[in-house]
Structures are given as C-alpha cells and as structure tokens.
C-alpha cells in the first residue's frame, strides 16, 4: 500500500507543505516570503489536503524537516508535526534539511559522478554544510564551516562538486575560482524530502514523537570540512 504522507518544511525562510502518495507528489503549497511560517503553515496544510480531496484522516504519516536551520522555523514545523501526529495517531518521519537540499539539487542540476554540498546560511561567511555522493550517501557529517578560498580546495582539486542551498550564493564568488565547482540555484521545497521519507517509511524508522527535537547545530567547533581521504 502506498503511504499518504504530509511533508512540512520550515527550516529556512521557505514555508512549504507537500502531500504525497507513494513516490508521487500530489500537491505542493509554499511561500518564500520569509517570517511567514506561523501565519501560513496551517492554512497551507488545509489547502494542499483540500485541493487533492483528502482530509487529515487519510494521512498515514507526517514528514518534517529536522534542521539545521532557523530556530523559530524549526520549532514551528516540529511542534505542528508532533501535534498532528499525536491527534491522528500516526508516526513522524524526520529528514535532514541538508539532505533535502541535496536531493533538490540533484533533481534540478543533475549530479552524476560528483559530490553534492548543501549549505544553509548562518552568519557572515559561515554555513551549515554536509557532503553527499551522487547516490545520496552521506560522506561528511553536518558541521559549521567558515568558507574562504581554501575551505573546499583539496576536494575541488580531486573532483567535481555541486554546491547548493541558501548559503551557497554568499560563497559562490570564492568557490567559482575552481573549475570543478558547480552551483545549483533553486528554492527549497517540502517535496524534496520524499525520497528519504520513503526509505524511512519502508524501514519503519520513525521518530519518537514525544522526545525528538530539531537539530539546531548550536554546539560546534567551526572549521574546514572534514573531507575523508584528503588529509
């Protein structure tokens, strides 16, 4: 049976809701206005269900972007997911915001035989970043990176890298000096969580609704990415 899942993405300035059935995206309702999550999230959920002839009773799971990202945005998304899951008696699936960004980049720009580095804007020249291969396997864990002309130099000398996310534009000028650097510019959407969500659904890898929290990446040691095999 193909699960009907509601996806909630509020980790950045984008407020996005998607409704899916199996591998099919039934509908998306979203806004990139910023600071609109508390106003738009519930109406977007109602709209995407109504437009597809569904009600909350049809939902079999809630998928939520877990971070890193905006403290306020993550709290709104997670609290909404928890409230709906409790009231409906259905599980919650959490997806890394960076994995969702990487999946979006793969769909928009292609990523055959190259690594994908999703970036979420932090402060000044700092980003929250991770690294995936073209099959969406995690190569480097989420960390805070101070981006300068040397931050990804060793990796870019070895292979092609696709940079993406709302932290990418402020790093693009520095990284553009490398021929192997590619850039994907697109808006984050809740629908990009679907591949990861389906894997977790099939594995019954559900969050503990009572205790899971957003991943804020508050405590960290800022530095260059830990690129395996390049030291």
**Which of 82, 87, 83, 96 has the alpha carbon at shortest distance from 9?**
96
Expressed in angstroms, the distance from the first to the final Cα of the chain is 47
Task: Give the pLDDT mean for 180-207.
Answer: 97
Q: What is the pTM of this model?
A: 0.90
Q: Which two tokens stand for residue 226?
A: 């830990």
Q: What is the pLDDT of residue 87?
A: 97
Q: What is the pLDDT of residue 63?
A: 98
Task: Give the pLDDT mean for 38-54.
Answer: 97
Q: What is the pLDDT of residue 227?
A: 52
Work out the mean pLDDT of the chain and round it to a whole number.
92
For the chain, give the percent of residues with pLDDT over 90: 82
- Specify the CATH superfamily of domain 4-96+188-202: ATPase, nucleotide binding domain (3.30.420.40)
Q: Is the pLDDT score of 218 beyond 60?
A: no
Task: Give the pLDDT mean for 190-207.
Answer: 98
Q: Whole-angstrom Cα distance, residue 177 to residue 182?
A: 11
Strands 15-21 and 4-9: antiparallel
Q: Among 16-25, 28-37, 171-180, 186-195, name the one with the lowest average pLDDT.
A: 28-37
CATH 3.30.420.40 spans which residues of the chain? Answer: 4-96+188-202, 97-184
**Which of 183, 209, 226 has the alpha carbon at shortest distance from 78?**
209
For the chain, give the percent of residues with pLDDT over 70: 94
Q: What is the pLDDT of residue 11?
A: 95
Q: Is the pLDDT score of 224 beyond 90?
A: no
**Which of 188, 206, 190 has the alpha carbon at shortest distance from 48?**
190
Per CATH, the number for 97-184 is 3.30.420.40
Task: Give the pLDDT mean for 165-183.
Answer: 93
**Which of 167, 179, 75, 46 has the alpha carbon at shortest distance from 117?**
167
pLDDT band at 225 (very low <50, low <70, confident <90, very high): low
Q: Which two tokens stand for residue 35?
A: 């600071």
Q: What is the pLDDT of residue 34?
A: 77
Q: Which two tokens stand for residue 55?
A: 């009600």
Q: Is the pLDDT score of 223 beyond 70?
A: no
pLDDT in tens, 120-173: 999 888 999 999 999 999 999 999 999 888 889 999 999 999 999 999 998 898
pLDDT in tens, 88-110: 999 999 999 999 999 999 999 98
- Dihedral angle sign, alpha carbons of residues 75, 78, 79, 80: positive
Task: Give the pLDDT mean for 50-60.
Answer: 98
């Amino acid at each position: 049976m193909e699960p009907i899942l509601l996806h909630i993405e509020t980790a950045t300035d984008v407020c996005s809701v998607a409704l899916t059935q199996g591998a099919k995206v039934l509908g998306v309702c979203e806004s990139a206005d910023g600071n609109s999550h508390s106003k738009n999230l519930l109406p977007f959920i109602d709209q995407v269900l109504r437009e597809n002839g569904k009600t909350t009773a049809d939902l079999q799971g809630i998928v939520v972007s877990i971070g890193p990202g905006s403290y306020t945005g993550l709290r709104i998304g997670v609290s909404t997911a928890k409230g709906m899951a409790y009231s409906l008696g259905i599980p919650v699936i959490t997806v890394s915001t960076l994995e969702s960004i990487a999946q979006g980049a793969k769909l928009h720009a292609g990523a055959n035989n190259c690594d994908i580095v999703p970036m979420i804007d932090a402060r000044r020249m700092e980003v929250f970043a991770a690294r995936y291969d073209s099959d969406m396997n995690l190569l480097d864990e989420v960390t805070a990176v101070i981006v300068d002309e040397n931050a990804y130099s060793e990796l870019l000398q070895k292979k092609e890298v696709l940079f993406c996310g709302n932290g990418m534009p402020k790093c693009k000028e520095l990284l553009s000096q490398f021929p192997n650097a590619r850039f994907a510019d697109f808006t984050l959407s809740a629908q990009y969580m679907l591949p990861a969500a389906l894997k977790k659904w099939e594995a019954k890898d559900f969050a503990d609704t009572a205790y899971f929290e957003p991943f804020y990446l508050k405590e960290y040691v800022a530095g260059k990415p830990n690129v395996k095999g390049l030291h």
